[in-house]
Amino acid sequence: MSQHTASEVPVLSAEVREALDRGRPVVALESTIIAHGLPRPRNLAVGAELEALVRAEGAVPATVAVVDGVAYAGLDKAQLERIAGGEGVRKLGHRDLAPALATGATGATTVSATAFLAARAGLRVFATGGLGGVHREWARTQDESADLALLARTRITVVCAGVKSILDVPGTLQRLETLGVSVLGYGTDRFPGFYLADSGEPVDWTVHRPEEVAAVMAAQDALGGPESALLVAHPVARAEQLDPELHHRVLAEALAECRERGITGQAVTPYLLGFLVKATGGASLEANLAAVRGNVRLGARIAGAWAARA
């Protein structure tokens, strides 16, 4: 059993604690991409690369994970290697955090768990790849990512490349509107589709500079409404996106295969993502990483603009 008290959730690394004390910019990073999103040993290299990108922009990275029943914001090298090692590393959404802490588990945090722990630690910016959302055939299955409801009640700015294109994008945007989560297009009036720069859906608000995002964050606080998140939808560069024709063809094949095999519920997303990687010869993975890198850089710049307002 973990001996840490509730007041120490999450435990901050010395670097993150010092940055917060000094009002320096900090960016939260999730750990699921390291443990479950990439093949080994590339996953560890990417985890270290994303932290380096944050530092290169003048901010401090706070990779979030649970190690031996202790939630951390900011991992040391050994902890990062442990999460990347994969042995017995669970995938933790925010609902899994209490059992994980109580039983001494080790796990990588998803968007919802990372956002929750980061906000709890006093961090305001979180950079990730694509959000979860409403699944296709939602009307029949009621299958929706836990990310959405958690973001409706968590004050954090999430820089993402929209939602995974395998999801119901219009349905997800409708849900975000219902939940009162603001969405800004960064340098675009189109909602990005993770692998694709444009999902085909519009966004209502467009910003072009990190300072504009920080101004919206400040206005959120001034309004004093529900403690909801701010989504900054930042498209992957068109030169680095997955070829849209290839994407649409492969996704149609993957969805057909799901129906034929009777794959449903939580098994659908990992199956579709795996199918895309194989059928595109790894191109979807490269587009995924290009999006994450861009989001991490932008997240660091937004954190810098936010820190400069203090």
Catalytic residues: 30, 164
b/e per residue, 120-137, with b = 16+ CB within 10 A?
ebebbbbbbbbbbbbbbb
**What's the start-to-end Cα distance of the chain, in Å?**
39
Nearest CA-CA partner of 187 in 133, 131, 154, 234:
234
Pairing of strands 190-193, 230-233: unpaired
Contact 235, 188 (CB under 8 A): yes
What CA–CA distances, in Å, run from 206 to 152, 188, 233, 234, 276? 20, 6, 9, 10, 30
3-state secondary structure at position 182:
strand
Structure tokens given for 219: 């206005």
192, amino acid identity: P
